[in-house]
Structure 1
Amino acid sequence: MRRTSRIADAFAALRARGQLGIIPYLTIGYPQRESTLELVPALVRGGACAVELGIPFSDPLADGVTIQRASHVALANGVTVRFCLETAARLREQGVDVPLVFMGYFNPLLQYGLERFVHACVEVGVDGVIVPDLPPNESDELHALCRAAGRDLIFMVAPTSTDRHLREVAARASGFVYCVSLTGVTGARERLPDDLPAFLQRVRAVTALPLALGFGISRPEHVSQARGLVDAVVVGSALLDRLAGEPPEGQAAAAESFIAWLRQGADAVAPVGEGS
């Protein structure tokens, strides 16, 4: 078991460099069953500070059309929780050293066995878990298992979160807090909400953990807008949409260039058109 958190180390490095992190999301087993093994290293080359790996589920209620479609394809490709764990292990064997965070709904993890799942995360080198349909006041078992194993259990908060919910998350979360930018499901948007700073200030008031902003991030302008408000942004649907338009042999290059394009918003004042 790691004595320090790979996630904490990554955010500390970002702070030391004065950088905003980019955390891309991939559904494991999409577009092809083995795609993740090529796509994750490409995302790291493009500038990802961590990678969120989605465990496909038949009813991803927090996700929009793009990730629902990706989950459907991944399930049709035969992806299971065990396959997701094996994929993470192979990524570590390939030399991927950024934090890997599973994003998965509670039912598949429960069916697999929570204790078995957390122990497997330790063995394969997964650093944290996001369970979007698990509220903090029902997370006792998984929270205790993750804490004992040195894994981060990452909770989500939204603009509609009550002050009580924010305090409950602050009391249990580790690694970072996932801030949902808007009311609704995942998916690329043209612009981020105007009231975003006020929401993020509410979250900052209750926790010293790093904040990551997700849902709707799709362009360098969005990333630039997040600078100074959060420590990282999560990009999922826009990346999956980009991959859907590429032949298999071009997907890794497309993933790398997409993250490098988004990084312009993190590193520059006035990002320009996407490179390829």
Structure 2
Amino acid sequence: MTRIDAKFAELKAASKKAFVSYIMAGDPDYQRSLEIMKGLPEAGVDIIELGVPFTDPMADGPTIQLAGQRALAGGMTLEKTLQMAREFREDDDTTPIVLMGYYNPIYNRGVERFLTDAKDAGIDGLIVVDLPPEEDDELCIPASEAGLNFIRLATPTTDDKRLPKVLENTSGFVYYVSITGITGAAAAEAADVAPEVARIKAQTDLPVIVGFGIRTPETAQTIASVADGCVVGSAIVGEIAKGAPVSGVLDFVRGLAEGAHRA
């Protein structure tokens, strides 16, 4: 059982929905990024998604693209992202960490070395948005064998024919993308999301977490109420981009978490 599996078991026992937050590693700089990360669990975050900055983030909208550019300009790398996780783990051995990014940095490091290093750093799961199920032998299956959850995205365009393939080797949870398009592009609507979550849950026992288009505590509550929880990324990254102090960012996150936990 991974930390992700344990967290969902704990939430289910408490009849509570999950709140997942995304931050870009190294944004606005290494130290403040680490400080924000360390404060997320106390702010109510159940699972941390840690973005790995990449030069060509095709699934991300402008807010997260700019965060990645700031991080890269500050010298952030995959190695430094893993170092952030190591430093986080010095004080917190229970909050799950999911690395979210693209395959190129992993490929450059070498899959075997990356998986060993990620496991040693305390990473629990991976979301690699540009590796389809047809390439599961490349990373998904080796990651699962190494004890890491490989979390797959389902979208509004994932039809009933495609869905079983998407779910085949997925573990930890299913990330349902609530809108068609890039991150931060539109607002999520519970009325649209609910039947899609039900459709996915009819084919898997995994929790379904909804992301994209959630910016307020109210939306976090309504979306979490029709799923097993929700993810917020662009709205949090946007607060960081505004230059909000660490305490301000964490207060913003706390409001979102409270919204999700009211669901």
TM-score (norm 2): 0.95
Counterpart AA for 1:123: D
- CA RMSD after TM alignment: 1.5
Structure 1: gaps (5+ residues): 270-276
1:41 paired with 2:38, answer: yes
Moved more, 107-116 or 48-57: 107-116
1:254 paired with 2:251, answer: no
Moved more, 228-237 or 193-202: 193-202
- Equivalent residue number for residue 112 of structure 2: 115
CA contact (8 A) 1:188 1:238 kept: no
- How far off its partner does 1:140 sit? 1.3
- How far off its partner does 1:193 sit? 6.1
Could you say what secondary structure the match of 1:62 adopts?
A: coil
Equivalent-residue separation in structure 1 for 2:56 and 2:260 (angstroms)? 33
- Equivalent residue number for residue 14 of structure 2: 17
Moved more, 170-179 or 257-266: 257-266
1:69 paired with 2:66, answer: yes
Counterpart AA for 1:264: E
Q: How many residue pairs end up in the alignment? A: 263
Equivalent-residue separation in structure 1 for 2:174 and 2:261 (angstroms)? 22
- Equivalent residue number for residue 272 of structure 1: none
Q: Rate the CA distance shift 1:75–1:13 in 2: closer, same or farther, 3 A.
A: same
1:105 paired with 2:102, answer: yes
Equivalent-residue separation in structure 1 for 2:205 and 2:57 (angstroms)? 30
C-alpha distance after superposition, 1:79-111 (max 9, x if no partner):
111111111111101335300000010111111
- Equivalent residue number for residue 186 of structure 1: 183
Could you say what secondary structure the match of 1:71 adopts?
A: helix
Post-superposition, which runs of at least 4 consecutive aligned residues in structure 1 deviate over 6 A? none
1:171 paired with 2:168, answer: yes
- How far off its partner does 1:35 sit? 2.1
CA contact (8 A) 1:53 1:102 kept: yes
Percent identity between matched residues is 39
Structure 2: gaps (5+ residues): none
Q: In structure 1, which of residues 26, 29, 36 is the aligned counterpart of residue 26 of structure 2?
A: 29
Counterpart AA for 2:100: M
CA contact (8 A) 2:23 2:50 kept: yes
Could you say what secondary structure the match of 1:164 adopts?
A: coil
